[in-house]
Amino acid sequence: MRKYIIVGLLTGWLCAGCHHPDVVEGDVLMYVDPTIGGVGLILEPTRPLVHLPNSMLRVHPLKKDELDDQISGFPLTVVSHRIGSSFSFLPVFTESNPWRSNIIIHRQDAHPYAYEVVDAISYNSVAVTPNERSGIFRMTNADQSTTHRLRFSIINASGFVESPNDHAFSGEEDYNGMKVYFYGTVDGTVKSVETGGDDSRKNLLATVESANGVLEMRYGISFISVDQAKANLEQEIGNHDFETTKSAAMDAWRAALSKIKVKGNDEQKRVFYTALYRTYERMVDINEHGRYYSAYDHQVHESDGPFYVDNWVWDSYIAHHPLNMILDPDKDQAMIRSYVEMYRQTGWMPSFAVAFGDWPAMVGNHASAWMADAWAKGLRDFDVETAYEGLRKNSLEATLIPWRNGPPSELDDFFNEHGYMPGLAPGEPETVERVDPNWERRQAVSVTLENAFSDWCIAQLADPAGRSEEKDVFSKRSQYYRNVFREDKGMVWPKNAAGEWIEPYDPSLAGREYFTENNAYTYNWHVKHDLNGLFDLMGGKAAAEEKLDRLFREDLGLSKWKFWAIQPDASGLVGQFVMGNEPGLHIPYLYNYLGSPWKTQKRVRSLVDTWFTDNVFGIPGDEDGGAMSAWVVFSMMGFFQVTPGVPTYTIGSPSFEEVAIQLPNGKKFELMAKGNSDENVYIQEAKLDGEPLAELFFTHGQLMEGGVLELQMGDRPVR
C-alpha cells in the first residue's frame, strides 16, 4: 500500500477510523476515514465531521488539526462550513482549572456517524452521534464514578447558556446577525451550576449525578427558538439512547455511500468513500419540521419542503453539483429552488448562500452554471423564469468586484462598456473605494474570464425562460474572454483602462491584482464554454497541446516559499499546475479535446495517486466541503464533466476495475476497466453497451439510461 513511513511513526491517536467494531467486513462504512486530509498542506485541514447526509447538525472536535493532541471542546453545531460554529461543549475530566481544561487525546475513533475520544489522563471518554437537528453526547467515567462535570461556553460574541431545571440546559447565541438556539437534557440530575469568565451568562459549569458511570446528554438545535430546539429533540430522538441513534445514523450513511460500489484495493476504497462522504457535508437543509428561519429576509417561513443553505458555488458548480445530479437529482433541484427562493426574499441571486445570508465571496455568477447544467440535463423542477431573472440581474445590475455585494461601481460601468475589468499597473494605488486595496484587490483577469463563462450559462437559459431576445446579449458577453487574451504571448494578460497590455507582468507571479487564488497558468484554461475558440487563440490545437504540456513542466522561477507568499492557495503543484485549488480541476481532461487522450489518462491517474492518499496528509489543498472531493469521486470512477451546461462526460483513467452507480431511476451504470492496474493506466479500447466509442465521450442521458462502459486497459498509450 502507498503509505508514507511517517504515518507509522505518529502516535496512536491518529489511527482514527482504523477500528470498526460496529461494521462487518465489506461494509462500505469501514472505508470512510474522516481524518484523511486532517493536516493541511498549506491551508485549512479537513475535520472529522459527524453528521447525517446534508443535515443541519454538524459536529467535530475543536483542535488545530490531526496532529494536535488536545480538544478544547465540541461545537453543538457548525453553522456554516469553515466559517463558524455555535456553543462549545466539553466534559471536564481533570481536577485542574475547569475553565481551561482540555481533553488530551489518548485514542480517537472517527466515523461519519459517531466520534469518540478517550482522555489520556483520566481514561474517561466522550462520544457524539447525530440526527438531523439533534444529537447525543455520551460521557463514560473509567472508574465508574457517577459524578460528571459539563462545561458550556459561547463561541461568538454574545449569548447565554443556562440550566432551566435540574435535568436540562439551554442557550441562545448571536451569530453573524442571526440567532442559534439549543435545548438539551441529561439522564441524570444537575446538582450545581457555576459560572465563569467576564460575562457569567457566557460560561457555565454544571455538576451532574448519573445512575452509573455513563451519562448521556440529548440536545436539539434551532435557528428559530429554544422551544423549537426542544421540539426538534423530542421529534427526532425522544427517549432513544446513544446506540439506537448511532445505529440509525449508520443506516443513513450506508444508504448514501452504497449508491456507488467499486472494486479495488482497500487504500483506494478509503480514499474514494471518504471523498464521497465529504460531498454530503453541504448544502444543509435547515427546515425544522415545517418551519425555517431565513437570514435572507429575517423571517420564519412555513414550508413543507426543504430549505438548503451553505453552498460555496465558486467551487461546487464544478463537480459537486454535477455529482449530486447523478446520485440525487431531486435533492439538487430542491437546492436550486432554495436559491430561487432566496432571490425572491432579497432581490439578488446569492453567491455563497450560507446560513447567515449571502456571503459575496470570490468572483463570478456561478449559480448560472449550476442552473444551466441542471436544465441541460433535463432537471427542470424549478422556476426557470425567476431563476433567469435573478441571474440576469446579478450580471447586468450588480457589482462584479470580488467579495462585494450591491449595485454596480464605476468599474462595472467600464466592464459593461469595454468588455473587460481594467487592471492596475504594479504598484499603482487603488482608485475605487469599494475594492479591497490590501489583499483581494481587483482580480481583473479572473473577473473577466469567470463572468464570460457565467454569461454563457445565462444565455443557455434565455430560451427556456422566455427571454430569447436576450440570448445574443449574453452570448456576446461570453466572448469577453478574448479581451484579456494576448495572442502574441499566448497567455491571458491584464489590460489597463486605456486598453494597453500591462507591463511589467510575470504570468507566474501575478497575484490578486489580476487573478483569484491562482495565476495566469491556471486561468489560461478557464474558457470552458468555448474551448475551440481558446485553442484557436493559442495558435491551434497543436500549439495548445504544447502549451498544456508546458503547464505541467513549467518551473516556478523562484523558491516555493516565495511563490507561496504570493500564491498561498496554489498547493499541490505539478509544474505550474495547481491540484489543490478548484479552478484547475478540469485542466487534466483537456487533452481529450486536443486529440491526445492518453495524456489525460496519464495525468489523471498520477494526480489522484500522488495527491489523494489515505492518511492525514491526503488532501492537497482546501477541500471546501465536498467541492474537491467530488472531483476525486469522478476521477476515480473514470470520467468527468469539463463544462457544466454541456451534459457530456469525458473519460480519464479509472482507479478501479469495476464501478457500479445505482441510479435513482432504478437503473445501473457500470464501468468495467479490464486489466486495470498501477501500470495499466492507458485505455486501449472503449465500448459503451458493446458499441465502440470513436472518442472518449458520452452524454448524461446515456449515463442515466444505465448501461455498461467497457475499457480495455494497457501499459502503453494509444497515440
Residue 436 φ/ψ, nearest 5 degrees: -65, 115
> Which domain CATH number covers 230?
2.70.98.10
- Beta-carbon contacts of residue 251 (< 8 Å; ≥ 6 apart): none
* pLDDT category of residue 387 using cuts at 50, 70 and 90: very high
Is residue 11 scored above 80 in pLDDT? no
**Helix, strand, coil percent content, the chain, rounded in steps of 5:** 30, 25, 45
* DSSP SS3 for 568: coil
Report the alpha-carbon distance of residue 388 to residue 310 in Å, rounded: 21
Residues forming beta bridges with residue 544, ordered by sequence position: none
- DSSP E strand stretches across 34-177: 70-71, 74-80, 84-91, 103-110, 115-119, 125-130, 134-140, 147-153, 159-165, 168-175
For 213, counting Cβ atoms within 10 Å of its Cβ (0-12 exposed, 13-18 middle, 19+ buried), the class is middle
Report the alpha-carbon distance of residue 599 to residue 521 in Å, rounded: 18
Residues 192 and 329 in one domain: no
- Beta-carbon contacts of residue 528 (< 8 Å; ≥ 6 apart): 453, 586, 642, 643, 644
Residues 216 and 320 in one domain: no
Instruction: Among 222, 257, 292, give the residue marking a domain's end.
Output: 257
The whole-number pLDDT of residue 643 equals 98
Report the alpha-carbon distance of residue 593 to residue 220 in Å, rounded: 51
- Beta-carbon contacts of residue 265 (< 8 Å; ≥ 6 apart): 1
Which whole number is the average pLDDT over 382-407? 97
Is residue 718 scored above 70 in pLDDT? yes
Residue environment code for 528-560, b if the CB has 16+ CB neighbours within 10 A, otherwise e: bbbbeebbebbeebeebbebbeebbebebeeee
> Could you report the per-residue pLDDT of 31-90, keeping only the tens digit for each?
999 999 999 988 899 999 999 999 999 999 999 999 999 999 999 999 999 999 999 999
> Could you report the per-residue pLDDT of 564-590, keeping only the tens digit for each?
998 999 999 999 999 999 999 999 999
User: Nine-digit cell at 481?
Assistant: 474572454
> Which domain CATH number covers 543?
3.30.2080.10
Which whole number is the average pLDDT over 230-250? 97
The whole-number pLDDT of residue 6 equals 35
DSSP 420: S
> Does 281 fall in a domain?
no
- The helix or strand, by DSSP H or E, that contains position 216, with its residue range, turns out to be strand 214-222
Which whole number is the average pLDDT over 512-517? 96
- DSSP E strand stretches across 381-480: none
> Could you report the per-residue pLDDT of 604-621, keeping only the tens digit for each?
999 999 999 999 999 999
Report the alpha-carbon distance of residue 79 to residue 103 in Å, rounded: 23
> Does 276 fall in a domain?
no
Residues 252 and 332 in one domain: no
Q: Are 102 and 221 in contact (CB under 8 A)?
A: no
Q: Are 220 and 75 in contact (CB under 8 A)?
A: no
Least confident of 15-29, 205-219, 474-488, 631-645: 15-29
Is residue 12 scored above 50 in pLDDT? no
Cis peptide upstream of residue 504 (ω within 30 degrees of 0): yes
> Could you report the per-residue pLDDT of 241-261, keeping only the tens digit for each?
999 999 999 999 999 999 999
Is residue 390 scored above 60 in pLDDT? yes
Which whole number is the average pLDDT over 413-419? 98
> Could you report the per-residue pLDDT of 258-313, keeping only the tens digit for each?
999 999 999 999 999 999 999 999 999 999 999 999 999 999 999 999 999 999 99
Single out the residue of 168, 154, 304, 305 nearest to residue 229, CA to CA.
168
Is residue 645 scored above 60 in pLDDT? yes
Instruction: Among 223, 257, 291, give the residue marking a domain's end.
Output: 257
User: Nine-digit cell at 424?
Assistant: 492596475
Report the alpha-carbon distance of residue 179 to residue 172 in Å, rounded: 7
Which whole number is the average pLDDT over 444-450? 98
Residues 54 and 179 in one domain: yes
Q: Are 708 and 688 in contact (CB under 8 A)?
A: yes
> Does 145 fall in a domain?
yes
> Does 306 fall in a domain?
no
> Does 540 fall in a domain?
yes
Residues 364 and 247 in one domain: no
Residues 245 and 320 in one domain: no
The whole-number pLDDT of residue 511 equals 80
User: Nine-digit cell at 698?
Assistant: 458520452
The whole-number pLDDT of residue 13 equals 53
Residue 255 φ/ψ, nearest 5 degrees: -65, -40
What's the domain count of the chain?
A: 2
Residues 335 and 249 in one domain: no
Sheet containing strand 168-175, edge to edge, reads 70-71, 103-110, 115-119, 125-130, 134-140, 214-222, 178-186, 168-175, 159-165
- Beta-carbon contacts of residue 646 (< 8 Å; ≥ 6 apart): 376, 529
Single out the residue of 117, 65, 61 nearest to residue 89, CA to CA.
61
For 219, counting Cβ atoms within 10 Å of its Cβ (0-12 exposed, 13-18 middle, 19+ buried), the class is buried
Is residue 3 scored above 50 in pLDDT? no
Residues 237 and 345 in one domain: no
The whole-number pLDDT of residue 200 equals 76
> Could you report the per-residue pLDDT of 662-712, keeping only the tens digit for each?
999 999 999 999 999 999 999 999 999 999 999 999 999 999 999 999 999
Residues 253 and 315 in one domain: no
Name the CA dihedral angle for 423, 428, 433, 439, rounded to a multiple of 10 degrees: 80
* pLDDT category of residue 19 using cuts at 50, 70 and 90: low
> Does 493 fall in a domain?
yes
The whole-number pLDDT of residue 510 equals 77
Average pLDDT across the chain, whole number = 95
Report the alpha-carbon distance of residue 60 to residue 75 in Å, rounded: 7
The whole-number pLDDT of residue 369 equals 98
Residue whose C-alpha cell reads 428559530 in the numeric block: 224
Is residue 326 scored above 90 in pLDDT? yes
∠ CA 557-609-658, nearest 5°, is: 150
> Does 291 fall in a domain?
no
Residues 245 and 319 in one domain: no
A 10 A CB-CB count for 157 gives 9
Dump the DSSP string for 625-656: TTHHHHHHHHHHHTEE-SSTTS-EEEE---SS
* DSSP SS3 for 277: helix
> Could you report the per-residue pLDDT of 330-359, keeping only the tens digit for each?
999 999 999 999 999 999 999 999 999 999
> Could you report the per-residue pLDDT of 99-113, keeping only the tens digit for each?
999 999 999 999 999
User: Nine-digit cell at 241?
Assistant: 439512547
Instruction: Among 219, 236, 257, give the residue marking a domain's end.
Output: 257
* DSSP SS3 for 608: helix
* pLDDT category of residue 599 using cuts at 50, 70 and 90: very high
Q: Are 46 and 38 in contact (CB under 8 A)?
A: yes
Q: Are 514 and 498 in contact (CB under 8 A)?
A: no
Q: Any idea how long the chain is?
A: 719
Is residue 21 scored above 70 in pLDDT? no
- Beta-carbon contacts of residue 604 (< 8 Å; ≥ 6 apart): 588, 589, 635, 652, 653
A 10 A CB-CB count for 617 gives 19
Domain extent, residue 210, equals: 5-257
> Does 302 fall in a domain?
no
DSSP 312: B
The whole-number pLDDT of residue 198 equals 60
DSSP strand pairing (668-674 vs 707-714): parallel
